[in-house]
């Protein structure tokens, strides 16, 4: 059995208190990154969101501390698929819950330093040791923290893994609380801003990753869906946006459902207090 010191428990309480006091996702990521990094003796750290769309898991750039500019974006877009530690974490999701992964348990030193992932991506950042702290909800992964040490530093210990596991429920609860509050706030804004259209038209509002934020009752009835648009409509919308970039004026597209061909259009919403959003009008 791993015995934690009094200071370890104080560190857990400090991170928990900080996460509880944060009022926005950005503040939560930045503030907790710094504390977790210090608590676990890491040199740098990152946080990424999970977005499940079209039955695939996508990683979205979040906060970063102590890594070169652009490194997080490169990892999310390219290198995460070559990351042996993320592969281990995602593989464990389908078999058993394992929120904390450390590099020393995943791959041998010789195998690790021979990978292009290490030599092209990690080594230039002076990163060798890695700890993954994953956050999961009932529907799947929601976020992941990555903590780093150089090759000259010791590997993350079993006591530090136990300490990280104590942090998981506090971080998960904070992320879910803020996400739910932000989603509710945006749904209220959408309802007020488009009250007339939503009452009569088939309309859906999606974010930049085409995740559904709001689907009007008329659209739900037409598409036979509830909280998420059918995959066919998401794929067709994505193809339209890739072809026309971000449309200032509505762009038509169509997709096939169990019913006849559905013709619709997508346009970017302007003057909104949130990140990029699109309106799909059926």
User: Which token pair is 185?
Assistant: 């706030």
Cα within 13 Å of Cα(10), Cβ side: 4
Q: Which of 19-23, 50-54, 202-206, 221-225 has the highest mean pLDDT?
A: 19-23
- Which one is predicted more confidently, 265 or 80? 80
Query: What is the average pLDDT score of the chain?
Result: 83
Q: How far apart are CA 47 and CA 67, in angstroms?
A: 12
Q: How confident is the model at residue 97 (pLDDT cuts 50, 70, 90)?
A: low
pLDDT digits (tens, 9 = 90+) for 42-78: 999 999 888 765 455 677 778 889 999 888 888 888 8
Tell whether the torsion through CA atoms of 192, 215, 174 and 64 is positive or negative: negative
How high is the pLDDT of residue 237? 78
Cα within 13 Å of Cα(48), Cβ side: 22
pLDDT digits (tens, 9 = 90+) for 134-150: 998 877 788 899 999 99
Cα within 13 Å of Cα(131), Cβ side: 30
**pTM of the full predicted structure?**
0.74
Residue holding tokens 């974490």?
A: 89
Q: How far apart are CA 135 and CA 98, in angstroms?
A: 10
What DSSP element (H or E) covers 129? strand 129-137
Question: Percent of the chain scored above 90 by pLDDT?
Answer: 35
Strand order in the sheet with 56-65: 56-65, 44-53, 140-149, 129-137, 100-102
Residue holding tokens 């946006």?
A: 241
Alpha helices in 45-157 (DSSP H): 71-77, 84-93, 109-113, 116
Residue holding tokens 């501390």?
A: 65
How high is the pLDDT of residue 95? 64
């Amino acid at each position: 059995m791993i015995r934690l010191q009094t200071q370890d428990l104080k560190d857990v309480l400090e991170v928990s208190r900080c996460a509880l006091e944060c009022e926005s996702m950005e503040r939560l990521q930045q503030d907790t990154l710094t504390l977790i990094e210090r608590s676990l003796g890491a040199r740098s750290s990152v946080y990424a969101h999970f977005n499940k769309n079209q039955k695939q898991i996508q990683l979205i750039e979040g906060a970063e501390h102590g890594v070169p500019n652009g490194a997080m974006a490169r990892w999310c877009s390219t290198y995460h698929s070559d990351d042996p530690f993320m592969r281990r974490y995602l593989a464990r999701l389908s078999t058993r819950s394992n929120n904390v992964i450390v590099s020393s348990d995943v791959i041998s030193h010789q195998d690790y330093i021979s990978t292009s992932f290490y030599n092209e991506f990690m080594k230039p950042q002076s990163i060798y040791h890695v700890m993954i702290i994953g956050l999961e909800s009932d529907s799947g992964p929601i976020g992941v923290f990555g903590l780093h040490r150089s090759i000259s530093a010791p590997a993350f210990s079993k006591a530090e893994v136990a300490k990280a596991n104590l942090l998981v429920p506090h971080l998960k609860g904070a992320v879910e609380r803020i996400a739910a509050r932000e989603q509710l706030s945006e749904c209220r804004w959408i309802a007020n801003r488009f009250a007339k259209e939503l009452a009569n038209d088939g309309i859906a509002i999606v974010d930049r990753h085409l995740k559904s934020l709001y689907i009007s009752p008329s659209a739900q009835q037409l598409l036979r869906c509830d909280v998420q648009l059918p995959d066919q409509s998401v794929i067709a919308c994505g193809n339209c946006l890739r072809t026309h970039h971000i449309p200032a004026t509505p762009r038509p597209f169509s997709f096939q459902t169990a019913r006849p061909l559905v013709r619709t259009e997508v346009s970017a919403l302007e003057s909104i207090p949130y990140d990029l959003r699109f309106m799909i009008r059926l």
